[in-house]
Amino acid sequence: MSAQRLLSIFWLGLLAVFLSITAYYIVFHHVAPLSRDQWHMYDALFQQGLWQTSIATVSGHRHILAFLLYDIDLKVFDGRNNFLIVVDWLLNVSLMAVLCWQIKKCIADVVLRKYLLGWAVLLLCWLINIALLGWGFNGINNYLSILNTVLAVVLLYHALQQQEKKYRVLLAALLLAGLATFSFGNGILVWPIAWFLLWCCRAPRRDLYIFSVAAVLFFALYLLLPGGNAVGSALHLNGWKSLTFPIALMGGPAYHLLRAWHVLPEDVLRGVAMGVGLAICFLAALFQRFTATEKVVLTFPDSKYFISGS
């Protein structure tokens, strides 16, 4: 038996053990009673009713579909969270399926594809993610926005690559982006992510205009619905911060990583986040400058991205 085959068997066995441990923990140790944020969010549901709570903000977030699921759990399943756990995992499995579909489609090397497929599953099922996997309430909040964001970006890319039914696919991508926006606070990031994709793919101006109009309409609706003031405050929509906040947001991963290590004061970390965001903008501007006269075509042979001129 070859060393490569032995390594593959070891990898699959390790993955099976890992997933078994996660499954055991979720089945026997998930959050069953109401916990933490559920109390005040369910209080809003009881006080305002399903419709009003779904379109308003709670803790600065919009949850257009989540409250419907909470209401079903309360009325049909006695609020035990079991139903929410099941829906949470359906969303998580759907996200894994989309990522695995893209890996199988984009990665030509069979061995590398196998390891990446396992790694994608592992990342979405490890117990450090237990706050989402073992607490259906919290998982639904996040996965509704994350899954719709990923689907919107994937469909947007496919819309740019085809001529037939292009605008049907683009419309579906925009609707999913809108659903992500209204599912949780992080869902609003679908718009800058999609803008970056359009920019990298050198999308036609017509597509840019359509996307821009949709983004403005969804964002306006996001602010105009009840609770818009709380959303605007959370997004720092006030003067100079309206410009600096998106840049600092790009440095968010560095901010949270260093914050978890407790190595720098909070004020310094904000400066670090801003610096990382500015560095990303600078590198993006350089990329734009050096590829301004070329047509960028993104393909995926041999597991890599290539930029080719026309």
* Tens-level pLDDT at each residue, the chain (310 residues): 677 778 778 878 888 888 888 888 777 776 666 666 777 777 777 887 777 777 777 776 777 888 888 888 888 887 777 888 888 889 989 998 998 888 888 888 887 888 888 888 888 887 777 777 777 777 888 888 889 999 999 998 888 887 777 888 889 999 999 888 888 877 888 888 888 888 888 888 888 888 889 888 988 888 777 766 655 555 555 555 666 777 777 788 888 888 878 878 888 888 888 888 888 888 877 876 776 555 444 444 443 333 333 3
H/E stretch holding 120 reads helix 110-125
Q: Is the dihedral of CA 146, 54, 215, 244 positive or negative?
A: negative
203 shares a domain with 81 = yes
d(CA 233, CA 151): 28
Report if residue 310 sits inside a domain.
no
229 shares a domain with 284 = no
Report if residue 26 sits inside a domain.
yes
Report if residue 153 sits inside a domain.
yes
- Which of 208, 235, 262 is a domain's end point? 235
- Which of 235, 259, 276 is a domain's end point? 235
Report if residue 87 sits inside a domain.
yes
Q: What is the pLDDT of residue 113?
A: 85
pTM: 0.72
- Which of 202, 235, 268 is a domain's end point? 235
56 shares a domain with 153 = yes
Report if residue 308 sits inside a domain.
no
286 shares a domain with 143 = no
Q: What is the pLDDT of residue 309?
A: 36
155 shares a domain with 193 = yes
Please name which of 234, 218, 226, 214 lies closest in space to residue 156, comparing C-alpha atoms. Answer: 214
215 shares a domain with 66 = yes
Report if residue 187 sits inside a domain.
yes
d(CA 99, CA 277): 26
Domain count, the chain: 2
230 shares a domain with 208 = yes
Q: How far is the CA of 233 from the CAs of 56, 96, 131, 178, 246, in angstroms?
A: 15, 34, 26, 20, 14
The alpha carbons of the chain give a radius of gyration, in whole angstroms, of 22
245 shares a domain with 170 = no
d(CA 287, CA 43): 50
Contacts of 8 (CB under 8 A, 6+ apart): 111, 114
Q: What is the pLDDT of residue 301?
A: 42
28 shares a domain with 166 = yes
Q: Which amino acid is at 180?
A: A
189 shares a domain with 267 = no
263 shares a domain with 127 = no
Which residues pair with residue 119 across a beta bridge? Answer: none
Q: What is the pLDDT of residue 247?
A: 78
Can you give the residue range of the structural domain that contains 259? 236-303
Report if residue 1 sits inside a domain.
no
Length of the chain: 310
Report if residue 129 sits inside a domain.
yes
d(CA 116, CA 122): 10
160 shares a domain with 75 = yes
